[in-house]
Chain A
Amino acid sequence: MEYAIEVKGLRKTYVSGWFRKRRKEALRGVDLTVPRGALWGLLGPNGAGKTTLLSVISNLLIPEAGEVRVLGIDLRTNGRELCTRINLSSGHANFLWSLNVRENLEYYGMLYGLVGKARQVKVDGLLDLFDLREAAKTRFDELSTGTKQKLSLAKALINDPELLLLDEPTVGLDPDVARRIREFIIRLHRERGTTILVTTHNMREAETLCEEVAFIKDGTIRACGRPEQLKRDLRLADTILITFHGTLPAPSLEGMEGVYGLQADNSSCRILVDDHRERLPQILDLFSNQKIAIHDLRIQESDLEDVFIAFAR
C-alpha cells in the first residue's frame, strides 16, 4: 500500500527559557501510517500532541528523533520539496487583517508561484467554491467567524495540495456552518482524492468525516482503526432496553454471541451488546419464539465519544 504519511518513533520535546530550561515532552515515540487518498481523523484530549504532530508533518516543527516521510519525501533531508504539495488550514483562522478575502487569496496564490491569469482563475474558482463572492471585498478583520474559516479552507486549496492537513476545522462555528464545512471536506475527498488528515475534538464530526481514526494521548498513539472496530476492540456496548410481559429466557440471552451482559427484573431488561444492528434481530426472534410480548424497546448506541472517553481516561 502507498502511504501519504509514514511516521516512526517520532519524538518532540519543547524546551523553553534561556537560563532555566523547562522541558515538555509533546510526542513520545509516535508511529503512524496514513494511506494515500484516505480521510483520517486524529483525535485526543487537549495537550495530547495533535497539533504538534500536524505541525511536524507540515514541516513547521522539527522533531529531535524519529522518521517522517510525507508523500514519499523524507522531511529530514528534503523538507522544502514538500511545500508545494501540502497545505494546512487551522481552526481560529488568522490572516492579514487589512487584506480583503480576494487579496488574501491573491497573496497566497503569489506565494505559491501562481502567475497572472492562472492565479485569477484559481482565486475566482475558490471564491465560487466556498461561496465567498459576496465577501470578496470585505477586509479579513470584518469577516464573521464562519467566513474566516471558509477563507482558511480556500487558502489551503490554493495549490491543489495532495495532502491537506486540517487542524480543528469547525471549532467555534455554528452548527449550520460546521455542517457545510464537513460536507465540503467529504466532497473534496471524494471528488479530488485528496488525502486529508483532520484533528478534532468533536467525536460526531470524526464519525461523520473519517474512514479511520487514530487516538493520541500523552504524546503516543493509543489506537488506530475504523470507529466500529475500535468500539469492538474496547468492548464498548450498545444498550438494548426492553419492557416486556412474560418469562425472560435469561440463560439463552446471556449465551448469545455478542452479548456482553444482562440486567433484568420481572418486566424489563437491559441487554449490553457489541453491535445492536447485528444482535437485535436474533434477540427479537428469541422473544418471539418464547411468546414474550414486547411493550417498549429502546436503543442506546455507543459512539466514538465513548471510545474517546475510554482512551482519554
Chain B
Amino acid sequence: MRTSSSPLLVELTKTKAFIYKNWIMTKRNVFTLFEILFWPLVGFLSVGLLTEFAALPREMRAFILVGIVSMSAVQVCQLDVSYVLLYDVWSKALKHGFIAPVGIRHLLLGSSVVGAARGGIVFFLLMVASYRLFQFDFTVPGAGALTLFILGLFLCATTVGALVCILVLTFGNRAEVAAWSLVSLMLLVCGIYYPVSILPNWGTALAALIPLTYFLEYFRHFYGFSPIFSHVLLKGYALVFIYLVLEVYLMRAALNRAKRTGLLLKLSE
C-alpha cells in the first residue's frame, strides 16, 4: 500500500485495528459480557460472604478482597490479549491477519488497551461493591498508589495474555485452555488469598518470578501488611517490562516456527 500518511499515524492506525476488532467482538458476544459482569461478581460475592461467615478480622478481609478484586481484573484483561489471536483462530481468519503488514507490537498494544478498559470496569465495579457491601475502601492508599497498582495489574495481564498467544502459535488450538488456566495457576503462588510466606521455599521462589506478587505486596502494605520482598514496586515493574520484551521476541519466534511447520495455515483451516 502506497500511503502518504505519517509513519506515526500509520502505526497508530494499525494498533487501532486491534482495539476496533476486540471492542466490536466484546460488544456483540454475550460471553464477553458475562466475563465482565457475571463471573467476577459471583466470585467476589462468594469470597466476600465467606469472610463474613468466617468472621475474619477487618485486616484479613482486606487482604482477601484485594486479592479477589485484583485477580478478577487481571483475568478479564489478559483474556482480551489472548482473544486478539483466539478470535482469528476461532473464525479461521488467522492467515489474513498475518499476511498484513502488522507487527506483534500493534497486536499486543491494541488488545491490551481494550483489556485495560474491560479490566478497569471490573476493578471499578468490584471496588464499589467492596465499599458498599464489606466497607472496604480501595482508595485509602491514594490516587497515585492506586493508579500504579492498577497499571501494574494490567501490565501483568498483558504478559499472561501474550504467553497464551505464544502457546497457541506453538501448540495450536489445544493451547487455548491456557487462556483460562494460567491465571488460576498464578492464584496458587502469587498470594491472592494468602501471603506467599506460607508457601514452601520453592513456592516462594516461584512467586518471586511473577510480577503480580510484587504489585499485591505493594498495595497491601498500605493496609498494614509488611512485604516479604524488598523494593516491590520497582521489582514488579522491572520484571513485567523484561517479560514483555522477552515475549515480543518469543512471539516472533513462535510465528516463524508456525510458518515453518505449517501451523499458521492449519489454524486458518
Contact = CB atoms under 8 A, between A and B. Distances in A.
Given A96-B21, A110-B20, 16 more contacts: A51-B265, A61-B262, A62-B256, A84-B101, A94-B91, A95-B91, A98-B24, A98-B29, A107-B17, A110-B16, A111-B97, A113-B1, A113-B13, A115-B3, A118-B5, A140-B91
Interface in B165-210: none
Nearest to A63: B260
A80 B16 CA distance: 20
Contacts of B9: 115
A51 B262 CA distance: 11
Contact of A88 (B13, B16, B96, B256): B96
Contacts of A14: 261-262
Contacts of B20: 103, 106-107, 110
Closest 6 CB pairs of A and B: A110-B17, A83-B101, A113-B10, A111-B100, A94-B92, A159-B1
The bracket for how many chain B residues form the interface is 35 or more
Contacts of A84: 1, 101
Interface in B17-31: 17, 20-21, 24-25, 28-29
Contacts of B91: 94-97, 140
B98 interface: yes
Contacts of A140: 91
A195 interface: no
B13 A114 contact: yes
A15 B260 CA distance: 9
B63 to A, nearest CB: 40
18 contacts: A60-B95, A60-B99, A61-B265, A62-B260, A84-B101, A85-B1, A88-B95, A88-B99, A95-B91, A96-B88, A97-B90, A99-B21, A103-B20, A110-B16, A111-B97, A113-B3, A113-B10, A115-B5
Interface string A184-217: 0000000000000000000000000000000000
A58 B5 contact: no
A119 B5 CA distance: 11
A83 B99 contact: yes
A120 B64 CA distance: 50
Nearest to A94: B92
B3 A118 contact: yes
A55 interface: yes
Interface in B89-114: 90-93, 95-102
Contacts of A114: 1, 3, 13
Interface in A145-199: 155, 159-160
Contacts of B10: 113, 115
Chain A contact patch, size range: 35 or more
B268 interface: yes
Given A61-B265, A112-B100, A95 B95 contact: no
A59 interface: yes
A260 interface: no
A111 B17 contact: yes
Contacts of B118: none
Most A Cβ at <10 Å: residue of B16, B28, B90: B28
- The interface residues of chain A, by DSSP majority, are classed as mixed
A230 to B, nearest CB: 29
A159 B10 CA distance: 14
Given A96-B93, A111-B97, A115-B9, A60 B265 contact: yes
B61 interface: no
Given A111-B17, A160-B1, A60 B92 contact: no
Instruction: With a 10 A CB-CB cut-off, give which of A15, A58, A103, A115 has the most chain B CB atoms.
Output: A115
Interface string B258-269: 011110110010
B220 interface: no
A108 interface: yes
B119 to A, nearest CB: 21
A115 B13 contact: yes
Interface in A96-145: 96-99, 103, 106-108, 110-115, 118-119, 139-140
Given A88-B96, A107-B20, A113-B5, A98 B28 contact: yes
B1 A61 contact: no
A54 B261 CA distance: 15
A139 B24 CA distance: 11
A62 B265 CA distance: 11
Contacts of B88: 96
A113 B14 contact: yes
B78 to A, nearest CB: 20
B108 to A, nearest CB: 15
A112 B93 contact: no
A60 B88 CA distance: 15
B99 A59 contact: yes
Nearest to A89: B96
Contacts of A239: none
Contacts of B29: 98
A125 to B, nearest CB: 14
B28 to A, nearest CB: 4
A310 to B, nearest CB: 30
Given A60-B259, A98-B28, A103-B24, A112 B96 contact: no
